[in-house]
Amino acid sequence: MKKDDCIFCKIAAGEIPSGTIYEDHDFRVIFDRGPAAKGHALILPKEHYADIYEIDDDLLAKAAALAKKMAVRMTSVLGCDGFNIVQNNGQAAGQTVFHFHMHLIPRYKNDDAKMGWKVHDITDEEIAALVAEFN
Ligand code: 5GP
Ligand code: ZN
C-alpha cells in the first residue's frame, strides 16, 4: 500500500525526482537531501511501512541483503574508509520521516559525521534484572 501524504512513497514511486542509484521491484535507493557524509543514501521500500514494527519480515530480509550489496558498491565507488547502516524507529529514536528507511552512510577518516551515544555504567545486578524482564 502507498500512503497519500507520504513523501517517501512519492519518491520511491518515482513521482518526485530523486538521485537514484539503484532500483528494483521492491526498493529505490536515493541520495539523502541532508547528508551526514559524502554519498549518504537511503533505502526506501516502494510499499509504505511506517517503521520496523510494521514492515513485512521477508521485505526486511531483502532490505538487509540490499544494504550489504549497496555498502560493497558504494565503498568501491566512493573509496570510503568505513560504513554506518542506521535505521531509526519512532520520534524518540530520531525518526523524522515515518516511512521505513535504512540510512547508508559512507564514513571517511576525517569526516565530521556525528554518530554514537553516551556510554553509561551498568552493574551485573542491573543486567540480571533486565534479563529477568525477558523471562
Ligand atoms: P530519519 O531521521 O527519519 O531516520 O531520516 C530521514 C532522512 O530523510 C533525513 O536524513 C533527511 O535528510 C532525509 N530526507 C527528508 N526529506 C527528504 C527528501 O525529500 N528527499 C531526500 N532525498 N531525503 C530526504
Ligand atoms: Zn510512505
Model confidence pLDDT, tens digit, residues 56-69: 999 999 999 999 99
Can you give the pLDDT at residue 3?
84
Convert the pLDDT of each residue in 89-122 to its tens digit: 999 999 999 999 999 999 999 999 988 899 999 9
d(CA 72, CA 129): 40
d(CA 99, CA 101): 6
Of 28, 32, 98, best ligand 1 pocket probe by most atoms within 8 Å of the beta carbon: 32
> Does the pLDDT value for residue 81 go beyond 80?
yes
Can you give the pLDDT at residue 1?
77
Of 20, 33, 95, best ligand 1 pocket probe by most atoms within 8 Å of the beta carbon: 33
101 is catalytic: yes
SS3 content of the chain, % helix, strand, coil (to 5): 30, 20, 50
User: Which atom of ligand 1 is closest in space to residue 7's alpha carbon?
Assistant: 19
d(CA 73, CA 71): 6
DSSP calls for 15-48: SS---EEEE-SSEEEEE-SS-SSTT-EEEEESS-
Can you give the pLDDT at residue 83?
98
